[in-house]
Amino acid sequence: MKPGRAARLCFLLLCLCCAGCTGWQSAMDPQGPAARRLDQLFWLFTGTAALIWLLVMLVLALALLRRRMPPEAVAEHRSTVAVGGAVAATVLIITGLTFASYLATRQDSAGHADALVIRVRGFQWWWEVTYPDAAPDHSFLTANEIHIPVGRPVRIELAAADVIHSFWVPNLAGKQDMIPGRDNALTFTVQQPGIYRGQCAEFCGLQHAHMALLVVAEPPEAFERWRAAQLAEAQAPRTPEAAEGQRLLEIKACGACHTVRGTAAAGTLGPDLTHLASRQYLAAGMLPVTRGALAAWIADPQTIKPGNNMPMVSLSADELQALSAYLVDLK
């Protein structure tokens, strides 16, 4: 074993890999001050750790290679000094890192009076998103996709409807758990428009793997346009086929769990579908919102996402066509 060379290789490998670590769900590609502070702290810790590891390996290599033996008393004395020094250095480094970590936390806990408040509730296995407003008719519900204006602090208030979930969008901030019976919150600001992915980080059952959400950061004007569109009731059907789709939604099982504002469907167990087609993904990140994907999902949700709470509703081929035609128009 050649620890020195191995160490250099590992470090190079790490650097190479991290250079390629940009992604839409990556802690290595921070897009806001909160995530950036965490990234800087990460590199401070990693650099220190790499140096310490190299040093220990170097001493170990020398210890294995050296041949000269001083008398026992001298060896004992020198060991005491060396070990004592190393322990003192450890204490200093640990203290420094603790302090650095404390400073980063303190900056994060600063309050934001003008923050945009969004409530997110975790369900098995999707996210309910509420934009509350003092005027009740200006507050609305959506799911799995959060739109935020860039440059303005956002306060996400977190709750859980069933089991523990955890809200994590690594490009924007660290994670925070959603715990039944407790209220948590997370505040961050995004500076660049973009689409960032997050996913549930606390094991929550069968479909923990498929519980993703998107954060869409857009300029304030675009955000306000989106908000106004979300406040409106659902798009009325424009074709006879879509009208049949709406009728099916209301008379079949769909309305028992889902709401489409402006129709008789007013269930609250599943995601709100009023503006389903304005969202990019279906079933918490499983499928893109296209007519084909909608039909596939409704036809057999248990094969696509085994164990999820949406039952298979028996529909004829024509009914499936009509329903998907209606849903894909819910912009």
Partner 1 sequence: MTRGRPAEDLRDTALAEVELTHGLARTWQTPSGFWGALATVDHKIIGRRYIATAFVFLALGGVLALLMRWQLARPESRILSPDLYNQVFTIHGTNMMFLFAVPVMEAMAVYLVPLMVGTRNIAVPRLNAFSYWMYLVGGVLLWVAFVLDMGPDVGWFAYVPLAGPQYGAGKRADIWAQMITFTEISALAVAVEIVVTVLKQRAPGMSLDRIPLFVWSMLVTSFIIILAMPAVMVASTSLILDRLVGTHFFNPAEGGDVLLWQHLFWFFGHPEVYIIFLPAVGMISSILPTFTRRPIFGYLPLVLALVGTGILAFGLWVHHMFTTGLPRVGESFFTASSMAIAVPSGIQIFCWLATIWYGRPVLKTPMLFILAFLFTFVIGGLTGVMVASVPLDTQVHDTYFVVAHFHYVLVGGAVFPLLGGVYYWFPKITGRMMSERIGRWVVGLLLAGFNLTFFPMHILGLQGMTRRIYTYQADMGWGGMNLFVSLSSLVLATGFLLFFIDAFRSARHGAPAGDNPWGAATLEWATSSPPPPYNFVRIPVVESASPLWDSPDALPVATGLRMDRRELLVSTVADAVPEARESSPGNSIWPLWAAAATTILLIASIFTPWAVVWGAIPVTIALIGWFWPKGTPEDES
For partner 1, give the closer residue by CB, 199 or 246.
199
Q: How far is the CB of 327 from partner 1 (least distance, A)?
A: 22
Of 183, 175, 142, the closest CA to residue 281 belongs to 142
Residue 291 CB contacts under 8 Å (≥ 6 apart), including other chains? 324, 325, 328
Q: Report the first-to-last Cα separation within the chain, whole angstroms.
A: 62
Task: By CB under 8 A, tell whether 12 contacts partner 1.
Answer: no
CA 142, CA 324: separation in Å to the nearest integer? Answer: 19
The number of residues in the chain equals 331
Residues 291-330 that bind partner 1 (CB under 8 A): 306-307
Identify any residues that bridge with 159 across adjacent strands, giving them in sequence order.
121
Among positions 11, 33, 104, 157, the unique one binding partner 1 when judged by CB under 8 A? 104
Task: By CB under 8 A, tell whether 75 contacts partner 1.
Answer: yes
Residue 115 CB contacts under 8 Å (≥ 6 apart), including other chains? 152, 153, 154, 155, 187
Residues 172 and 195 sit within 8 Å (Cβ to Cβ)? no
User: For partner 1, how many residues bind (rule: CB under 8 A)?
Assistant: 87
For partner 1, give the closer residue by CB, 185 or 299.
185
Residues 18-37 that bind partner 1 (CB under 8 A): 18, 21, 23, 25-28, 35, 37
Q: How far is the CB of 71 from partner 1 (least distance, A)?
A: 10
Task: By CB under 8 A, tell whether 82 contacts partner 1.
Answer: yes
Site string for partner 1, 203-242 (x = CB under 8 A): xxxxxxx---------------------------------
Q: Is the bond preceding 125 in cis, omega lying within 30 degrees of 0?
A: yes
Task: By CB under 8 A, tell whether 92 contacts partner 1.
Answer: no
Q: How far is the CB of 323 from partner 1 (least distance, A)?
A: 25
Among positions 2, 12, 60, 238, the unique one binding partner 1 when judged by CB under 8 A? 60
Round the CA-based radius of gyration of the chain to a whole number and report it: 27
Going from the C-alpha of 41 to that of each of 27, 54, 69, 303, the distances in angstroms are 12, 20, 43, 43
Among positions 2, 36, 46, 290, the unique one binding partner 1 when judged by CB under 8 A? 46
Q: How far is the CB of 66 from partner 1 (least distance, A)?
A: 7
The crossing angle, in degrees rounded to 10, of helices 291-299 and 317-327 is: 130
